[in-house]
Every structure is written in structure tokens, then in C-alpha cells.
Structure 1
């Protein structure tokens, strides 16, 4: 049984709402009240002094992080080791799955540029977290790895991690693959240096043409900077347009100078 025992209204409100949202049975008491029989886990406010019966596990909740507290409670009840593992199926909109032990506690699908922030939020204050990222979508994966700081990262062979999707499951493939990736051990790495291929550069140039108002692709040099994460496609297009305007101005100045020379 889960027992919420705190005088902090913010913690009480946040934890109780999270438990209700997940359909988890619980009871509440005031600190100092008699404890119910069968209590397994107590949720209290971090730093709060509460007398806990022997044999009852304790989870200390932060007012700003009720979900993390509830995840710890559920993991404790399930008997898992509680380690936080983040699985990432890389791509332009990577799937991200967060596991505590064997329990999936959160899932996301966000633009690649936001993946690093998601990881940092999910592993904050976690004990011995690890991030496992698939080895596909090389360029995007390398950028995500570079964006993740102070967290051990393992590169996982993602072969076979994307499941068959039956009727009604469209759009879930990347997230489910991230769950499978999280459950596979990989090779620990600190970074991943990738030299973009000609085909990968062409894909970036094609994408820039699609997003350009003038239907003009960026140069290979700019495409290479996008591939390494130094620029976004939008930033590369802005720089390309700026360079094009400068070139056009220079061309007009040259033509005008030649015309003036002819007139003389």
C-alpha cells in the first residue's frame, strides 16, 4: 500500500494527482497519525520529519517534481532496481522512452533539437542514469549525443528494435523502438564523429530547397555545417540568402563600373 504522509499541500496535491492519473491505489494520513496496516511505501516531503514504521520504504518528494516521486514509488512497489534508463530512437523527431527498472514511466516524440533537454530533465537527480541511443540516423544521433552532457551514453545496435505496427498503432513505431533500445546494452561512448556522405549532404540540400521561399538549395559547405550541427537548416538558409544578396550587389556594382568605363 502507498501512503502519502505530508503537511506540504503542494507536494500532497501534486503526488495525489499523479497517483490518480495513473490509477494507482493509495491512502493519505497526517504526519503523526496512526499508520494503516499493510503500508509498503511512504511518500513524504523532502526534508520533512515524519516517523515511519519499520519496514516501510520512504520516497521523498520535491514540490516541483511530483511525477518523479510517483515513478520512484511505483518502481519500489514493482521491486525493480529503480535505475533510470533513457532510450532514444534517433531521427528528425526521435522517439524517447524513460524506464525505471523495467517499467516505462514516460515517453516522448519531439524535434531532435529538443531531445537533449528532455534527457536532462528526466535524469535530473536520478541515481546512476544511462542513456541508450540507437546507431541509426547517424548525423542526428551524433548531434543528440553531443547535446547530452554529464550522463553516460551507450550506442546500441538498433537492428530489429522497430516493432510491427498493427491497426491503430500508426505513429508509435519510434517510441516503441526507443523502449526496445533502452532494454539493450550497448557500447559506452562520449561522442560520435560522423563524416557526412554525399547522399546525406544531398538530402540536407533537398530539404533546404523545400523550405526555401525562393526554391534555392543551400551550398554544400552550408549543408556540411548543418550535418555537423553547427547550423540548423533555417539558419543555413538565412546565411545562404545573405550571401546571395551580397553576391548580387557585388555583381551589380561590377556591371555598373564596367558601364561607366564604357561611357567614358
Structure 2
């Protein structure tokens, strides 16, 4: 059982709200009353500067009022025995699903822009602690997956997972959850360890970028192959590539804005 005992209102409100939102059973004690911990207490959450004295097997967690979630995550790890391995599953794409598992239980889930995915994973691993964490990345969406893998810290174990069949059927009311649920499934599958993933955009992927450039450009400008390739690799976004192309054509380059090659 988790017990919250603090006279810090911000800590109390933040931690209790987090516990309730996650459906965790807990009880609270009045810190000023010096009440005894109830039988069965396994984790005690207190404020950042409060004095605390507990006996085994009770362990305590100091909660930061600005980050109550971290304290709740820590307390839950203590209830599950602590020290368990953290596994992060990533379903790559333009908005990857990210699932954080601790001892097989999902403790956090995200759907974030691809450029933010590696930072989210790194932050989750730093907060989780525990031995030998691993990040498992699906092998679909090759270009986005490569960008995520290459942006992860060098000391993180990364596995490339065959993601065939990991996206579940979504019933009524589950729209938008597919990538996150796929990330959970990916986290459960052992993959091949990788340090990086070098990929070259296919002709089809480059055509997609060119089509996108015409759609967003007021002058129906199509990017040339070299700039479209850099967009596909994530080195530039479409707007930056279009700006570079405009600058090049304005300074004397060839402007093939209609994309017909003439």
C-alpha cells in the first residue's frame, strides 16, 4: 500500500491527483498529527524537505511539487519490488507511439512528433532508473525509425523489432490509439541489437516529399531530388527545403516550379 503523508499542499494535491488518475489504491495521513503508518504500508510519499523516519520494509519517496508523477512512478516500482527492468517500445512514424513498461506493466504512454520522440524516451529512462533498460523500435517507417535510433543516447541498448502484426484492431472509441498500442506490443518483442540504422530514401519516399512540397508551396513548387532526399532523411523540413530552393533559383539556379522537368 502507498501512503501519502505531507503538509506541503502542492505535493499533496499533485501526488493524490496522480494516484487517483491512475487508479492506484492509497491512503493519506496528517503529517502534523504524527500518525502511525497503517499495517501493510510499503511506500511512503513525503514532501521534498520533510523529516521522515520509517522502519523496514517501508521505504519512502520524496516528491517534487513540480513533478508528482516521478514520485508516483517511484512508489509503484517499490511496490513491484524495485529494480525491475524498464522497456520502452516505439512504433515509429510521423507521430510515433511510445510505451514505457516496468516489470511488464505499462507505466506511461505517449504519442509525440517524431522530432521529440528520442528526447521523450531518454527522459523516461532517466526517471525510471533500474538495471539494463532497453528501447525496442519497430522496423516499419524506416526513415523515422532511423532518426529516432540515431538520436538516442549512445549508452542505451536499442533493439530493432519486427513489428509485423503489432498494430491491433481498433474498436469503437479507440481511434488514435493504434500507434500507442502497437508500441506496447513492440516493447514485448525481443529484437536485434543495433547501434544505428542507415537507410536511403526510396524513389517512392522521395516522390511523396515532392508531392508534399507542391501541396504546401503557394507557387506549386516541386523540390528537386537532392532537397527532397534531405527532407526524407529528416535533415530539413519541407518549408526549409522550399526556402533553400527559392534562394537558389533567385540567385541564378534552375527553377522547375511546375515539376515537369522542362
Instruction: Determine if the TM-score, normalized by the shorter chain, exceeds 0.5.
Output: yes
Deviation for aligned residue 1:47: 6.5
With structure 1 as the length reference, what TM-score do the two structures score?
A: 0.85
Pairing partner for 2:228 from 223, 227, 238: 223
**Alpha carbons 1:4, 1:26 under 8 Å: kept:** yes
With structure 2 as the length reference, what TM-score do the two structures score?
A: 0.85
* Whole-angstrom distance in 2 between the partners of 1:62 and 1:234: 40
Unaligned runs of 5+ in 2: 256-262
Deviation for aligned residue 1:79: 4.9
Pairing partner for 2:161 from 141, 156, 160: 156
* Whole-angstrom distance in 2 between the partners of 1:46 and 1:135: 42
**Alpha carbons 1:75, 1:103 under 8 Å: kept:** no
Other-structure match for 1:171: 176
Q: CA RMSD in A?
A: 2.4
* Whole-angstrom distance in 2 between the partners of 1:4 and 1:167: 37
CA change 1:145–1:248 in 2 (3 A) is closer
Other-structure match for 2:259: none
**Is 1:135 matched with 2:148?**
no
Secondary structure of the residue aligned to 2:100 is: strand
The range that moved more, 6-15 or 179-188, is: 6-15
**Alpha carbons 2:44, 2:60 under 8 Å: kept:** yes
| Deviations 1:177-228 (CA, angstroms, capped at 9, x unpaired) | 0010111122222211112222221222222222222112111001121222
**Alpha carbons 1:204, 1:223 under 8 Å: kept:** yes
* Whole-angstrom distance in 2 between the partners of 1:187 and 1:73: 32
The range that moved more, 156-165 or 223-232, is: 223-232
* Whole-angstrom distance in 1 between the partners of 2:94 and 2:127: 28
* Whole-angstrom distance in 1 between the partners of 2:48 and 2:152: 28
Unaligned runs of 5+ in 1: 251-264
Other-structure match for 1:85: 87
Pairing partner for 1:34 from 36, 56, 60: 36
| Deviations 1:101-138 (CA, angstroms, capped at 9, x unpaired) | 22212222122112122223222233243221101111
* Whole-angstrom distance in 2 between the partners of 1:213 and 1:82: 53
**Is 1:14 matched with 2:14?**
yes
* Whole-angstrom distance in 2 between the partners of 1:184 and 1:64: 34
- Counting helix residues as a fraction of each chain, which structure ranks higher? 1
| Deviations 1:143-187 (CA, angstroms, capped at 9, x unpaired) | 111222243222111111111222332221111100101111222
| Deviations 1:212-245 (CA, angstroms, capped at 9, x unpaired) | 2211211100112122222112211111122122
Deviation for aligned residue 1:89: 0.4
Secondary structure of the residue aligned to 2:101 is: strand
Other-structure match for 1:204: 209
**Alpha carbons 1:161, 1:177 under 8 Å: kept:** yes
Deviation for aligned residue 1:92: 1.0
The range that moved more, 4-13 or 170-179, is: 4-13
- In the TM superposition, structure 1's runs of 4+ consecutive aligned residues that sit over 6 Å from their partners are none
